[in-house]
Structure formats: structure tokens, C-alpha cells
Amino acid sequence: MQIDRSSHGNILVVEAAGRVDSVSAEQLGSFLKYEIDSGCRFLVLDLQRVDSMGQDGLWEMVSALKCARRARGDLRLAQPSDRVRDALEMSGLNEIFHVYASQADAVDSF
């Protein structure tokens, strides 16, 4: 899995690519938690290039969402791939996360 970051004002955009499985999920979770602990309260996680998302990846995203909200911020999802969208819907997490069709829409939602 590859993780890239960019800033748009006070909003951090994190772009993940590849598979988010039991091995790489911890990497994603640690990255998000580090950024939140470092003061980034408003995050967009772009999932367009994520091939698949396992339960561990979903759990790490929920954990990061909770951390962001405790810091009075939020974690929003942008353009999930079809497989990620299916995983979100099957787990019911599409009801918990704000999910946007584009990265720009997610950034503008703050």
C-alpha cells in the first residue's frame, strides 16, 4: 500500500493506493492517528486507488474517525473504489462516514 499526503489550507488529504489488508491496515491507521495527534483535525481520505479493503482496514478507518471527532474534527471519505464502496455498504459504515464522489467535494464540505 502507498500513502500520499497533501494539504489544502487546514485540511489534510490522504491518498491511499493498493490493498488495505491485515498487514497494511495498521500502516494506514498509524499514519492517520499520527496526523491527528500532530494537530490535523480535518482529514479527507481518498480511496480511489484502493483495490480492496479488508475488515482490519475498515476498523482502522473507524478508529481514526473517532480520534478525529474527539479532537473536534472529522474524517471524510472521497471517491471510494467499487470494492471499497461495497465493503462500506456491507458493513454499514457508509451510514457513519461522510462519503463524497470527488476529492474536491470532500474538501469543500468542511
pLDDT tens track for 51-86: 999 999 999 999 999 999 999 999 999 999 999 999
Q: Name the domain count of the chain.
A: 1
pTM of the model: 0.93
Residue (of 43, 64, 57, 58) closest to 110 by Cα position: 43
Percent of the chain having pLDDT more than 90?
Answer: 96
In tens, the pLDDT along 77-109 reads: 999 999 999 999 999 999 999 999 999 999 999
Using DSSP, state whether 50 is helix, strand or coil. strand
* Residue-range definition of the domain harbouring residue 52: 2-108
In tens, the pLDDT along 26-35 reads: 999 999 999 9
Distance CA 62, CA 104 (A): 22
Distance CA 27, CA 50 (A): 14
Q: Quick one: average pLDDT of 8-29?
A: 94
Q: What is the CATH number of the domain that holds 88?
A: 3.30.750.24
**What amino acid is encoded at 58 in this protein?**
L
Q: Is the pLDDT assigned to residue 22 strictly greater than 90?
A: no
User: Using DSSP, how many helices (H) and how many strands (E) does the chain show?
Assistant: 4, 5
